[in-house]
Structure 1
């Protein structure tokens, strides 16, 4: 064999020779070589581009030890078997087998789930058949038991006794029960002689069990049984048992004869954990006590562990030992008093007071143990002798006294605790006006940095009608505190103002707000901050504080219309009509260009019944805002509501000539339509459409008037032309499709709705019209299909989800309601649909609860109020009906399918909210359980 020279020179073996090549290795690829793959490399039925299985880690095997390296030493080699090791040591279970097992398991689980319902049904049927074939004894005699209720007392008493029906051979004399006779009977049976022992020869001794084990002295030397010593032994055993449960603490027994049974109940083990954990904890705590016996928490924890496990006596012993080891720990003494009975607790506290005479907590515990008021007072007075500077003890002692005695105690308390503001304030409240002022002056000298004293002084002056001093005291308080380097917390002062208002000190709260509201507020943020403060005070019910904040803001920003509007809305909600009108009068002086302020003032006068004053306000508004559309329309509404139709017509004519706007034209035509002047209304609409052809309401009114006159073809032409001008108007498309449906042109109606959806994509109202059209035509399956398409385009539409609930059968509406609530939880229409479903199921209280949720989510939804009111009309009381009516009037709803259809009807143009609510509720269908859509 020829060996290359290089191999001869390099006799050392390289470490990579004999090893497998790495993954993806191609020989010579660095020199531009191209690798190739044969079938022997990738195996059968595999593509060359597939990733090799070796790239993925083999599946994890359970309980498999890490594979050891094979021993290739010559000592491990055999000519017959090769290298040592088991041929079966390799695990034949590879990842293909594991994948197959997982697939089979999943198939088995799926098949088991399919058969589960059938298996459970079959098991229930078998159990039912079994109970029918083999009923219980009590079920077999149920009818007979029921007849026993008619048996009379005499019949019961005349029922004969059964007796022992067995014959003598069946009876077992050994099974007869035997009751030994008492000693007195045995003594009397011995012929009246008074004896103290039983002769064994008489045979009676054999009836006394345990004569040989009762102990010495119970059998006389002659072999007789002594009856007297049996009773003495019994008493001795009872005494031993009582001694075992007794103990001595400080020479006194801890057994309470009166509360013995109660203590027995407390000693029952109540711990339900593992006893091993208790043992471990006990050992740990014992180690802590032995290591550091002067550590109070160790003794307390040990006692509580024993208490939890039911060993109260052990806990008491441990804590007593703790008081000996830690006599200066008040926690240990208090724990010892807690674990003892009341009488023993007093002794423990007495010893604790001798050890720690300056601990307020121990004195308070001693007062708590006293049952009578006199004893409590005595304990507190002794405590105050020892600890005269304890504010807590003074407060507790004062609480127990009457007014006169409390005043004396407080006089002494402020001398001992001059820095306690609470004691000074309590004394000032009990004193007269003059003495109260002196007390507060002394309190200010002792506590110059406390704001409560100043605020209390202001309240005192207000209570005594010294209103001028209130402002001065608050102003001086701010100055003094700042001079003493006290940081003023603005939020805390506002909180004090709220508390002052709640206490009835209105002037004090307003003075605080005026002097603190601008403190530490930047000029750029002042307006926003003050509005938030006012809203926060109003939310807490502090309306005077909010009013003071608004007043300060209006002083700082007299030309800001947003501040005036916020203050006006506040007065309208929480104030009186007089306060609102006074505010609005100031507002229009500073902001005459703000139309809303003029209109609010006019409306307030009109609602109060003062129509001339409302006209006067609108006249001034005209001068300040000439050609204002809102003011023109408000004046027209004022006149029309008061039956002054001619004045309203003149105002509208003047408005059309000076300020011809779409709304003015619409209101002009609407007034003539309401007064049944249809031709005049149509001419006004034609005139308006020439100027404003893109205003959809003019087209709607013209078409509706034509429908009212019976010109359906002309109305349809108007709708068709209007939808070309106003393609985005959903009501126009709706009215056109509705007219086509009424005329029997269902295909045209479908086409119109399809065209409207093309012009207005993702519009849930148009989709709902298409669904309802198919329902009215009897195509329920088609309507469900349309609803499915609609929800694909508008998946979060509460309107469609609410309608989808009633498309389902009655049995499936509940699950559909759950799906709708998951998708649209806060949508009032979905919540309303759920409430109706509860009503249909006969659950009136649940429906009432969900109607309440609906009107809270969206108070502007008139349909919710109508259904709620109808429910109360049918099943509620008069009080409930009135409550819903008042809440609806306060909310003043404007929207809702049924509500708008009624309110927009020309016949109801002057109806108010209560009348509209009754009309809509009367026209609503009553929800009844059925499989039809609602």
Structure 2
């Protein structure tokens, strides 16, 4: 029933949405939580209560498809690799060659793009895996330390570990007693009768071998029947549930022994005690039956048939006869092989191979006649003549064979050389004179003749050789060597130059490597001038201008590795002539002369170097140092004065001059030089050296004044703060030293040594917590610095907190996983049984780090593996020659296990390399009281502090 509303009220209460259709999906009352109900009469029999009524307020219905279009079914049976599902857009189009070619092109492009991104993708994946493993390590990694600790468990502790019981299996926990079933009477009777089993020997058995074999067969038959009876009875006993006893097993063993005795007795003679069968003849027959060839017999037969077919088809084919003979030789039929090869010789009398094979297969007494037949058939065969001489034993017979051979084949160089080797020098000279006439194109014969002749005749021989062989360089080089051995050094260069000109005129290709090899051979023969002449003439062959320096430096290094010092010196000489202003070449040549030359040559080279390159201050310093070490101090001063003229206010030259005066006790002159240097070339290093000189001379107040002035000028120089703090510590003014170090780390927060000195100062004053805090601050400002972590670990070790030290080491290795100094310390933090595993991990991370190699050598030393430890010390030195700690530990090792010669070897190598780094080494070398000590003295002092590893 509708209610009528007055018009005035309608106009006032009417909303703007009244009379408009409801939005799609709108259901009245849903927003305020109202729910309704429907009945069957409302929706009809074909709808459910949850269906949305088809009104204008509901969602729009889907459009019906056409009748001829089927509904798409995404079924795997309807899927095609190229067309997709059956209802796809291109399912009805054919897949032709153009589509296939297009797909190949797209796949190629995809593969190319994927290959370009492969490295980046693999690197990103690897980083993700490493990050994931660090956050979530494997179980085996988490328990690796516990597994290593299992090696400490003793056998008693292992035995005391209780067995794990299974609560669900009562039979295992409450084992019942073992049950036995009694044996039947028939089983016992059978076993008793089996134990009494025997066989009698018939007297007729002794009549012969056949009777013996028949007796063996009958006995074996009886044995088998007996065993069969026993087996049947045994099976019946098992089926009946009876078990065997120890007595039965003993009787079975006795029965077996009796049967074996019967078998042996039948073979032997019971009367005479001698065996009927001859063991030696029997073994000989067996040996003759064993084939020497281990292959298949059918393969041998097939090979025989094939080779027989080849021989019959073409008997003039020597390889078939040779192959047939070798086949028979392999299978052990040597006589058949000999017959075959001789038959082949009859068919092929002009074949060298078949005659040589026949000689090889026959014994020496027969081979001579075969060789004679071969020579008659092939009188000009060099190989057959050489074989004929080879089978002769007497030297005279050999010479006769060779002379006959040379009559038949006078142009064979092989025959001439073989004949000459058997002769005395005088006879060899005569033969060579004839040989060069017959074989004028053989360089070897000409050179051999020249070596046997006198000087004048040798020159004539070489001149004749050049006329006959104008394209061989060895004749020219032999002439140069000849002139050098006679002292005609001025002729060597001329001959080499004429050789190059003549060979070029005869269109001979110049191979640079061959000439350089000839230079090395000349030096090995003692002809250094010839070697240097060759180098000077051919070094620039086929070398571009821009590649000369690099190529020649490689040549010099190659000659040095081969031990050809004269050749290397000649290379440096050529380089210095053509590149006189190159500082690097002068330095390389100077180092070479220092290592391989004498002091006079070294000083002469440096004099030339300073003249050619006067602005290279390193050359001046090397020259002054060489003169100073030679004892000529005054000349060294003059050289440094000249160096000042060409390199005004050079800091290195100032330092060298100061060191020269201070080392020779001229302290006042050193002070004046430093004062002039502070005015003319001021630098933090000059001020530091000035203060250090005063500190070393004991003038601490003057040193502090200089350092205070220097800090005002160079506030960012950390070494100034270090020296000031150490002087104050030496005077016992720890509070002032703390202030200096604190100010230093504020100005120079990235100086690790300052942080470490501050921490050690706090530790010396029993302020361990403050020292730990300072190191923590240093690590925050300088992350991933291994020396700070190392100091933190050692601080905890000195404090006695090993657990804290292990924790610091674990964090340090996570942050600096490739630090060799941390891994070397980690090895010795482990217990004795865990050091080997830790050293293996360290070598995997830092294979070429000197600290890790030194720690490994010390570990082998502690295990008393002397030979291996010495090898690892050697390896550590090769990796880093500037590591002084390695020399200290190595010398201590040799003092314990080596000889005085090996100790001297370590000291000499230390003096040669003059190391400057290393924690133990710098402890003594940087000590102001040792400022005038040599490397050997510092080595001895540091070695005394080294402890034998245990």
Normalising by the residue count of structure 1, what TM-score does the alignment of the two structures yield?
A: 0.71
Partner of 2:438: 416
CA distance in 2, matches of 1:569, 1:770: 42
CA distance in 1, matches of 2:288, 2:689: 84
Partner of 2:566: 544
- Of 445, 464, 469, the residue aligned with 2:467 is 445
8 Å contact from structure 2 (residues 79, 85) kept in 1 = no
Instruction: Report the Cα offset of residue 555 of structure 1.
Output: 1.4
Cα distance change, pair 306–711 in 1 and its aligned pair in 2 (3 A): farther
Cα distance change, pair 842–361 in 1 and its aligned pair in 2 (3 A): same
Cα distance change, pair 359–652 in 1 and its aligned pair in 2 (3 A): same
SS for the counterpart of 2:766 is coil
Cα distance change, pair 211–666 in 1 and its aligned pair in 2 (3 A): closer
Partner of 1:767: 789
SS for the counterpart of 1:592 is coil
- The total of aligned residue pairs comes to 706
Partner of 1:339: 361
Partner of 1:624: 646
- Of 837, 844, 865, the residue aligned with 2:887 is 865
| 1:22 correspondence with 2:79 | yes
Instruction: Report the Cα offset of residue 331 of structure 1.
Output: 2.5
CA distance in 2, matches of 1:768, 1:284: 80
Equivalences for residues 424-823 of structure 1 within 5 A: 424-823=446-845
CA distance in 2, matches of 1:913, 1:280: 80
CA distance in 2, matches of 1:786, 1:287: 85
Equivalences for residues 260-275 of structure 1 within 5 A: 269-272=291-294
Cα distance change, pair 298–772 in 1 and its aligned pair in 2 (3 A): farther
SS for the counterpart of 2:701 is helix
Normalising by the residue count of structure 2, what TM-score does the alignment of the two structures yield?
A: 0.70
Partner of 1:917: 939
The gaps in structure 1 that reach 5 residues or longer are 1-9, 11-15, 32-113, 126-169, 179-204, 213-237, 242-260, 929-934
CA distance in 1, matches of 2:828, 2:889: 16
CA deviations over 1:386-417 (Å, ceiling 9, x no partner): 11111111111111111100001101111111
Equivalences for residues 374-389 of structure 1 within 5 A: 374-389=396-411
Instruction: Report the Cα offset of residue 281 of structure 1.
Output: 4.9
SS for the counterpart of 1:441 is helix
CA distance in 1, matches of 2:78, 2:333: 74
CA distance in 2, matches of 1:322, 1:832: 71
Cα distance change, pair 579–28 in 1 and its aligned pair in 2 (3 A): closer
Cα distance change, pair 26–541 in 1 and its aligned pair in 2 (3 A): closer
8 Å contact from structure 2 (residues 885, 920) kept in 1 = yes
Partner of 2:57: none
What's the C-alpha RMSD, in Å, of the aligned pairs? 3.4
CA distance in 2, matches of 1:683, 1:408: 92
SS for the counterpart of 1:783 is helix
Equivalences for residues 33-48 of structure 1 within 5 A: none
CA deviations over 1:217-265 (Å, ceiling 9, x no partner): xxxxxxxxxxxxxxxxxxxxx9xx9xxxxxxxxxxxxxxxxxxx9xx99
CA distance in 2, matches of 1:26, 1:567: 80
CA deviations over 1:6-27 (Å, ceiling 9, x no partner): xxxx9xxxxx9x9953389888
CA distance in 2, matches of 1:709, 1:431: 85
Instruction: Report the Cα offset of residue 676 of structure 1.
Output: 1.3
CA deviations over 1:612-662 (Å, ceiling 9, x no partner): 111111111111111111111111111111111111111111111111112
Equivalences for residues 65-76 of structure 1 within 5 A: none
8 Å contact from structure 1 (residues 267, 310) kept in 2 = no
CA distance in 2, matches of 1:454, 1:918: 57
CA distance in 2, matches of 1:473, 1:856: 44
Partner of 2:176: none
CA distance in 2, matches of 1:174, 1:320: 61
CA distance in 1, matches of 2:325, 2:879: 56
CA deviations over 1:860-880 (Å, ceiling 9, x no partner): 221111111101111222122
Instruction: Report the Cα offset of residue 473 of structure 1.
Output: 0.9
CA distance in 1, matches of 2:546, 2:862: 57
8 Å contact from structure 2 (residues 78, 86) kept in 1 = no
Cα distance change, pair 527–373 in 1 and its aligned pair in 2 (3 A): same
CA deviations over 1:334-383 (Å, ceiling 9, x no partner): 23322332222333322222222222122222222222222221221121
Instruction: Report the Cα offset of residue 422 of structure 1.
Output: 0.7
Instruction: Report the Cα offset of residue 284 of structure 1.
Output: 4.9
8 Å contact from structure 1 (residues 266, 310) kept in 2 = no
CA distance in 2, matches of 1:356, 1:646: 98
Equivalences for residues 111-510 of structure 1 within 5 A: 269-272=291-294, 278=300, 281-282=303-304, 284-290=306-312, 292-510=314-532
CA distance in 1, matches of 2:492, 2:612: 30
CA distance in 2, matches of 1:470, 1:664: 55
